[in-house]
Structure 1
Amino acid sequence: MTPVIVPEAQNEIANALAISRNAGRLRTAIDRALAAIGANPMIATRIGRSRFRRYILTGRIPYSIVYAETADEIRVVAFAHNARRPGYWKNRLPKN
């Protein structure tokens, strides 16, 4: 299943690529992470008791992909920098 990326997360990806010293490497890491999530949505760590998961990119890439799986889709709600404003994206999570 191909993950659906919400507009806020799309903007965060675009901003990260714009400021990256190696945008090609970052783009490759993002594409691989999204493919891994699409192939196995349970690959990442669950965030608390919610249905949301955090896939942490490896290497020198300080970002995480935050997503949830429903019956119909995998929804990416944030592309979050691991050291900046922790949890800022939590208001994007549906309450249900």
Structure 2
Amino acid sequence: MRTVRILEEASQEAIEAAAWYEHEQPGLGAEFFAAIDAAIDVIEENFIPLPPLPEKAGDTGAKRLILERFPYDLVLIELPAETVVIAIAHHSRKPGYWLERAKP
């Protein structure tokens, strides 16, 4: 089982998105968090190999896991001792806005 660590910036992105969803429809924020939890379980269990991100982001070794039901990706970097979630990125955000976070 892999250790998964979530950067503070990524955690803040999740909190803000969940608050927005909760405002739009009560209960939807909790469903968003549940989708993130399920994605983290997949990463921890290493169920599926995740492909590297295309283009410039691929230079960082960053990978992504697309959330089910929500237009978000978990952007992560696999290190020898742990997997680090560096962004919880909405599909409409500028690609690679999180690149600075990918540096060790």
Mapped to 1, the partners of 2:45 and 2:4 lie a distance apart of: 10
TM-score normalised by structure 2 residue count: 0.80
Q: Deviation of residue 50 (structure 1)? A: 3.6
Mapped to 2, the partners of 1:41 and 1:73 lie a distance apart of: 15
Unpaired runs of at least 5, structure 2:
none
Mapped to 1, the partners of 2:59 and 2:95 lie a distance apart of: 18
Contact kept, 8 Å, 1:36 with 1:43, in 2: the verdict is no
Write out aligned runs for 1:1-96 (5 A): 1-20=2-21, 21=25, 22-40=28-46, 43-47=49-53, 48-59=58-69, 61-94=70-103
Superposed CA deviations along residues 14-52 of structure 1, whole A, max 9, x for unmatched, are: 101110131121111000000001111753221225421
TM-score normalised by structure 1 residue count: 0.87
Unpaired runs of at least 5, structure 1:
none
Superposed CA RMSD: 1.7
Larger radius of gyration: 2
Mapped to 1, the partners of 2:47 and 2:91 lie a distance apart of: 20
Mapped to 2, the partners of 1:92 and 1:75 lie a distance apart of: 10
Runs of 4+ in structure 1 off by over 4 angstroms are: none
Contact kept, 8 Å, 2:62 with 2:77, in 1: the verdict is yes
